[in-house]
DNA sequence: GAGAGGTATGACATCGGTGTCATGACATCG
DNA sequence: CGATGTCATGACACCGATGTCATACCTCTC
């Protein structure tokens, strides 16, 4: 690769003048600039960012750590897909910043993270984004004082700035939507009870019921995920839970599942019991995993887990923090995703009295 | 961040001695080394790779370009997922190399690629991997002579080294597997006819038939993908194709679909026609998109699209090319994935004569 | 005991940019 | 017409590593 000296010599000027042409930080005669540009094009010269970084002490690099190849048991068959959407969001938001993204994968082994961070420090990254594969708490090694750090899809107990999915509101909006469609008996078959997502979404479920004046019935909420890679066991648990729900004295008109995959399995299970979707029973998922929600028949109502948006937000936050060291948020940034309506939810026939009153109201 | 001079001063030695301790390229008294290490730990010193890169002319960086956020119409709802598995493979294979991965996303716009390549050249990457979202031909801007380039999931007409999925053999193995399970009438509902994958897999389908002495019946092969984002249209095409296949005089015992999503849709369509899987009709997909194949009931037989392995191979190839500039493959590297057997394929009852003969053979 | 060879260390130049300062050629102004 | 200011450009140092060469000390050998 040619250097600025090669360009200078070929153009018959000093290296400094070439530098000025490149950076436009001082006046250069138009004719000189033209010659320099021609030489640059001819030689295919590109200024070395290593040399620039040394002089300016700014690398123009952002580091990103994922645990994508994670073997975390609680999300066995998504195998790290979700966090890749976050990475896409990060890339998208980085595009216009002029920074370049360094990426490293912990392979699901937390003990590797310090090494990756050290590599990033060697490259003098201006900031690091740590992406987790699902909403959870993490504990990271300390970084040098001038390296900014943002957590995406996770949080720690030292108050590091973080971007989290608004699980509570997501489930609340979904339930509110169901209530608006006339459902009153709403079952919720949750993921693994230990997950933050489960705790928060269950809270959101109760928020929505409470806002509509519907009393909470514990019989309608069952943990139906166990966090294992054993597919057969998962199916069994799900089958049992659905059995229990359907044999209640007053069965629900809709079953909400902890994620789209559970809902996808439920399609098969419910149909094998002779139930039609959504006429006999309505179903919802969570995550809006498009491959599932859009491809299933009928299309699945779900809640968007805003991974892409979280990546964008994390990046914007980090770039702001790099720009202004004091601009640090004090609380987690919660990002909501919309309810994605599919055809898996039936709008319940409304009692006459209500119908007429609604009819009047909308006129 | 502290420098090697800070360390040297604090340890009471010269910078060069610190360098020697770090690189172990010359003898250093054990006691001196101990002091230096202590100081390094205390200051949290990490050597600047920018400075190293300048001196050594080796950046230790590898560039990767994806088109992940691609809006390519032929794979509407996977939205760039597959190539992310390739990226995972690349990361995995890079782990032990000591190189660091620079990543950029073209956002599906080819006109951005030259700019991304220039950024990579500024960072003096030692090699570039270009990843496509599906098997196809590409045309990239030229790179500087000493930058190695490897294409993954795509090829060009200038003979750039490339890694491709072995679509032909994949489909062949699948069909051979079906034949081994006693199927003779095998339908194939393909993706969009313009795709390389369709052409190659159709060839593989014919290879397998031919190897088993089964004559090719064109009525059994229908293009059932159109390459649009219109989901309803896709479903309609698929529905029609299945109709045509099932109303043949001698209908097939198994239908192979162009990918797992088509197969997933077919589950619904076939069931709505009162057919049981796999008793009345067997079904296969392609891609082994685990979220689908493992979650569907019954689990779907598919062919692994070896994205992860392709990423690994691409990286290994690139690292070899960086190591030895002459070590360039002359032909595309084809990577096969195994047939992933699910419960969506029925083993056909074998005629008595054959059964006994097989029984004898295996004893 | 002088020279040879090994060990441990430091001085200095260099990689490719850019910040600082200096300089020469003009134009403008009082 | 000399002083001042602007434009255009170049010389030089510096960022943080490391390769080259030099040096001081020690041990071994003839």
Tens of pLDDT, residue by residue over A17-62, are 999 999 999 999 999 999 999 999 999 999 999 999 999 999 999 9
Q: Best mutation site among B22, B49, B104 for testing chain A: the one with the most A CBs within 10 Å?
A: B49
Which one, of B282, B280, B294, lies nearest residue B178 by Cα? B282
At a CB cut-off of 8 Å and minimum separation 6, what does B296 contact?
A264, A268, B263, B264, B267, B342, B344
| E strands present in chain A | 61-66, 100-105, 127-137, 148-155, 162-165, 186-190, 221-223, 254-257, 282-284, 302-303, 333-335, 339-340
Number of C-beta neighbours around residue A219 at 10 A: 12
Distance from CA of B66 to the nearest CA of A (A): 10
Of A87, A102, A122, the CB nearest to B48: A122
Q: How far is CA A119 from CA A64, A295, B7, B15, in A?
A: 11, 42, 19, 21
Q: Which protein residue's Cα is closest to nucleotide C8 at C1'? A: B28
Å between B27 CA and D21 C1'? 17
Q: Report the largest interatomic distance among the alpha carbons of chain A, rounded to a whole angstrom.
A: 92
Q: How far apart are CA A158 and CA B189, in angstroms?
A: 55
Q: How far apart are CA A173 and CA A200, in angstroms?
A: 13
Backbone angles phi, psi at B340, to 5 degrees: -100, 105
Please give the structure tokens belonging to residue A69: 């190849």
pLDDT digits (tens, 9 = 90+) for B114-150: 999 999 999 999 999 999 989 999 999 988 888 999 9
Chain A positions touching B78 (Cβ under 8 A) are 291
Residue contacts between A and B (CB atoms, under 8 Å):
146
* Nucleotide closest to residue B28 (CA–C1'): C8
pLDDT digits (tens, 9 = 90+) for A262-296: 999 999 899 888 898 899 999 999 999 888 898 88
Rounded to the nearest integer, the mean pLDDT of chain B is 90
Distance from CA of A200 to the nearest CA of B (A): 25
pLDDT digits (tens, 9 = 90+) for A185-215: 999 999 999 999 999 999 999 999 999 999 9
Lowest mean pLDDT among A164-173, A313-322, B272-281, B346-355: B346-355
pLDDT for the residue B352: 52
Of the pLDDT bands very low, low, confident and very high (cuts 50, 70, 90), residue A68 is low
Q: Best mutation site among A126, A295, A300, A315 for testing chain B: the one with the most B CBs within 10 Å?
A: A295
Percentage of residues in chain A with pLDDT exceeding 70? 93
Of B54, B291, B295, the CB nearest to A50: B54
Q: Which of A308-312, B82-86, B224-228 has the highest mean pLDDT?
A: A308-312
Partner-chain contact B48 A68, CB within 8 Å: no
State the pairing for strand pair A127-137/A282-284. Answer: unpaired
Distance from CA of B329 to the nearest CA of A (A): 24
- Say whether the peptide bond before residue A238 is cis (omega within 30 degrees of 0): no
Partner-chain contact A268 B297, CB within 8 Å: yes
Domain spans, chain B: 4-47, 61-160+307-338, 167-301+341-357
pLDDT for the residue B350: 75
Q: How far apart are CA A169 and CA A167, in angstroms?
A: 6
- Say whether the peptide bond before residue A278 is cis (omega within 30 degrees of 0): yes
Q: How far apart are CA B342 and CA B285, in angstroms?
A: 10
Number of C-beta neighbours around residue A213 at 10 A: 7
Chain B positions touching A146 (Cβ under 8 A) are 1
Say whether A61-160+307-337 and A4-47 share the same fold: no
Residue of B nearest to A44 (CA): B144
Residue B299 gets which letter from DSSP? P
Answer yes or no: are the C-beta atoms of B88 and B49 closer than 8 Å: no
DSSP for A318-339, written as a single string? HHHHHH-TT---SSPEEE---E
- Mean pLDDT confidence for A348-363: 53
Partner-chain contact A264 B91, CB within 8 Å: no
pLDDT for the residue B268: 85
Fold of B167-301+341-357: Rossmann fold (3.40.50)
Beta bridge partners of A130: A65, A151
pLDDT for the residue B358: 43
Positive/negative CA dihedral, B175, B178, B184, B185? negative
Q: Which CATH class is domain B61-160+307-338?
A: alpha beta
Fold of A61-160+307-337: Rossmann fold (3.40.50)
Q: How far apart are CA B316 and CA B311, in angstroms?
A: 9
| E strands present in chain B | 61-66, 100-105, 127-137, 148-155, 162-165, 186-190, 221-223, 254-257, 282-284, 302-303, 333-335, 339-340
Q: Report the largest interatomic distance among the alpha carbons of chain B, rounded to a whole angstrom.
A: 92
Answer yes or no: are the C-beta atoms of A339 and A177 closer than 8 Å: yes
Angle, CA B332 vertex, CA B119 and CA B326 arms, to 5°? 65
Answer yes or no: are the C-beta atoms of A105 and A69 closer than 8 Å: yes
Answer yes or no: are the C-beta atoms of A106 and A329 closer than 8 Å: no
Fold of A167-301+341-356: Rossmann fold (3.40.50)
Positive/negative CA dihedral, A87, A120, A79, B227? positive
Please tell me the CATH superfamily of domain B4-47, with its number: lambda repressor-like DNA-binding domains (1.10.260.40)
Which one, of B33, B40, B31, B34, lies nearest residue B10 by Cα? B40
Of the pLDDT bands very low, low, confident and very high (cuts 50, 70, 90), residue A315 is very high
């Amino acid at each position: 690769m040619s250097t600025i000296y090669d360009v200078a010599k070929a153009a018959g000027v000093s290296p400094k003048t070439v530098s000025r042409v490149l950076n436009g930080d001082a006046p250069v005669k138009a004719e000189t600039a033209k010659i320099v540009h021609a030489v640059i094009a001819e030689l295919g010269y590109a200024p070395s960012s290593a040399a620039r970084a040394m002089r300016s002490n700014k690398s123009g690099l952002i580091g990103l750590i994922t645990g994508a190849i994670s073997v975390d048991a609680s999300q066995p068959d998504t195998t790290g897909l979700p966090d890749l959407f976050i990475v896409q969001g990060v890339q998208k938001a980085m595009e216009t910043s002029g920074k370049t993204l360094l990426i490293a994968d912990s392979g699901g082994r937390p003990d590797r993270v310090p090494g990756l961070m050290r590599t990033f420090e060697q490259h003098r990254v201006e900031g690091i984004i740590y992406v987790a594969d699902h909403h959870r708490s993490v504990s990271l090694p300390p970084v040098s004082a001038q390296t900014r750090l943002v957590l995406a899809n996770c949080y720690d107990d030292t108050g590091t700035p973080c971007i989290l999915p608004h699980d509570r509101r997501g489930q609340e909006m979904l339930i509110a939507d169901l209530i608006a469609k006339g459902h009153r008996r709403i079952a919720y078959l949750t993921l693994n009870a230990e997950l933050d997502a489960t705790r928060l979404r269950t809270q959101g479920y109760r928020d929505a019921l409470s806002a509509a004046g519907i009393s909470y019935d514990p019989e309608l909420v069952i943990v139906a995920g166990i966090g294992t890679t054993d597919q057969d066991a998962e199916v069994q648990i799900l089958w049992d839970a659905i059995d229990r729900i359907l044999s209640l004295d007053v069965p629900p008109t809709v079953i909400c599942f902890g994620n789209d995959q559970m809902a996808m399995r439920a399609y098969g299970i419910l149909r094998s019991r002779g139930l039609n979707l959504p006429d006999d029973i309505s179903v919802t998922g969570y995550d809006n995993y498009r491959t599932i929600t859009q491809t299933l028949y009928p299309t699945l109502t779900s809640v968007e887990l805003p991974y892409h948006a979280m990546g964008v937000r994390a990046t914007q936050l980090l770039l702001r923090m790099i720009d202004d060291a004091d601009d640090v948020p004090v609380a987690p940034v919660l990002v909501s995703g919309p309810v994605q309506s599919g055809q898996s939810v039936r709008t319940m026939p409304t009692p006459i009295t209500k119908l007429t009153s609604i009819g009047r109201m909308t006129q």
